Amino acid sequence: MISPIRKKLSYSNVVASIALFAALGGAAVAAGLPKNSVGAKKLKNGAVTTKKLRKEAVTNLKLRADAVSGSKIAGGSVGASDLANNAVGSSKIANNAITNSKIANGVVGTNKLGTEVVTTSKLAKEDVTTEKLKNGAVTSAKLGADIGPFVGDNLRSGQTLRGQFAIGGLGGTPLWTAQSFAFPLAAAPKAEVVDPATATTANCPGITGAIGQNPNAAPGYLCLYVTSKENMAPSGLSVPGVALTRLGFALEGLAEAPGSFYGSGQWAVTAP
């Protein structure tokens, strides 16, 4: 005989009863788990999402060494207060990362500058004043070609000394006179006498200037331009070789006929 209860059972009733039993049983199991009894092995991969993490739950101690890479740090999230003292070394600074605007005024001292790092291109016009120059720092070798030599220095290469000469007296015997250079040359020059002054040579290119008082000479030459003379023998003015040194020169004059004579003109010498 089939009981009344069995008559009322159906497939849906059975499935619903099983589901209810499972749900009540699962809840009871979950409620009955002791504290700290669920370990990492009990968790399915991907089971813990960010929503399941409590605020500030992940501390420094929970992070594996080198676990946080640069791609995990939001832009602008690390401030100066988050950096330890001396944390940023030179190896952590990219090339050209520090610009002028990042350097405070007055922080770069002379002891921080490398040898020869300040070149002329880094100096503004008129930056170097006399008070910035050490005593004795400027030598004659550092002067431009248009700056004359100083006492005790040789005439600089390519520079020219100029002057005038005159010689005269009674004829009969040669007469001498001498001229010293204001600055000595490095070596004795070669001498040429140009008579008349308009008869220029390759080494003695003539007298120039608005008033005709700018005699010229090639480097290594002494040029004497005869501008005026009286009763002086042809080629009667000469520079004896024994009297031509780096310090000066001598002139020898010779009359053409008995009586007084003279010769005068301008000279130039250019340092070799």
Supply the pTM of this predicted model: 0.54
**Residue 200 has which token pair?**
């220029």
Cα–Cα nearest to 216, from 147, 148, 158, 149: 158
Angstrom CA distances, 112 to 88, 94, 106, 116, 118, stand at 18, 19, 12, 12, 12
Compute the distance between CA of residue 28 and CA of residue 21 in angstroms, rounded to an integer. 10
What's residue 144's pLDDT? 67
User: CATH for 160-270, among 1.10.4160, 2.60.40, 2.30.30, 3.30.420?
Assistant: 2.60.40
Q: How far apart are CA 166 and CA 266, in angstroms?
A: 9
pLDDT at residue 8, as a whole number: 55
pLDDT score recorded for residue 148: 59
Report residues of the chain scoring pLDDT below 70.
1-32, 140-141, 144-151
Kindly give, in sequence order, each residue whose CB lies less than 8 Å from that of residue 252, ignoring residues fewer than 6 positions away: 167, 174, 175, 176, 237, 238, 239, 240
Listed by start position, the domains of the chain span 160-270
What is the predicted pLDDT for the residue at 188? Answer: 97
Q: Which amino acid is located at 30 in the chain?
A: A
pLDDT in tens, 156-181: 999 999 999 999 998 888 999 999 99
The 10s digit of each residue's pLDDT in 241-250 is: 999 999 999 9
